[in-house]
Amino acid sequence: MAGSERGPFALLKPDGVGDNAALPLVVLLGWAAADRDKAVFKRNWALALLRYLEDQGLWPHRPLVLFAFSNGGLYVVEQLLLIAESDPRYARLPDTIAALVVDSAPVTAGPSAVQNVIAASAPPGWRRWALTRYIQASMRLRGPDGGMAAYWANLRRMGWGRPQLFVYSRDDPIADAIEIDKLVAEKRALGQDVRARCWKKSAHCAHLKHHTGEYTHLLFGLLEEVQGHSRGGGSNIGSSSGGSSHSGSGGGTAGALPADVLRSRL
């Protein structure tokens, strides 16, 4: 897979695959301490992402699959939604989103969850101290409840008429599976096409490691569905089923990933 980097963005293209406007572009949005952590506000990050996609000629020409890990990635998706609603330059964004994948999110971000995030993100020392202060300051800026009520409300209505896949686990100490269950049920009640897979045992943002076969089966199946709609010129990708649940068969999918990948290193 060939790759090119610019700043915090890395574009990976499958070997032997030329430019194809119908090929989905998977945008990976990392969690709080994924790779190199950047203490930036998510709205600025979302705008930088859109500008990069425009500069590279990737948007609005390519269908986008937004792939968010934990709240760190899902906050960016939320901001993309709000930008599309408030900035006429990006009003077309929802029409170009082909699917949404959410890994280990949303997180309620209560005191215990925040402490678990910090413990998982940094060893004891100055980095953990700095991360604690940063998260506390960010939550204060988002309002009395850390902006959680508005955040979850935005996630409930976020549908775009496209398929959404949530993957999470019962034993995740950071992302509360019961709360994600409720969100999935509420979104389905709104007529959104939501698929969900919740494992009994796994790890936060590490389901690919613990359930490799089923995880790749779910992801590749979704990407192939999106690519099939794009080839056929379909304008209502994934809008046919309002409340499906795909658990996968546990088998992997052979072959290369049927998409280009943009990795955003937060």
Token couple for 250: 């546990």
Residue ranges covered by each domain of the chain? 2-264
Instruction: Write the pLDDT tens digit of every residue in 31-74.
Output: 654 433 333 467 888 999 999 999 999 999 899 999 999 988 99
Instruction: Write the pLDDT tens digit of every residue in 202-251.
Output: 999 999 999 999 999 999 999 999 988 766 655 443 333 333 333 333 33
pLDDT at 13: 79
CATH code for the structural domain at 2-264: 3.40.50.1820
What value does the CA radius of gyration of the chain take, rounded to a whole number of Å?
18
| Whether this model's pTM surpasses 0.95 | no
Let me know: does 66 contact 100? Beta carbons within 8 Å. Answer: yes
Q: Is 258 exposed, middle or buried (0-12, 13-18, 19+ CB in 10 A)?
A: middle
225 φ, ψ (degrees, to nearest 5) = -65, -45
| Percent of the residues in the chain that have a pLDDT greater than 70, as a whole number | 68
Report DSSP state, residue 169.
E
pLDDT at 14: 73
Distances (CA, A) of 245 to 4, 98, 157, 167, 202: 36, 18, 19, 11, 19
Tell whether omega for the bond before 111 is within 30 degrees of 0, i.e. cis.
Answer: no
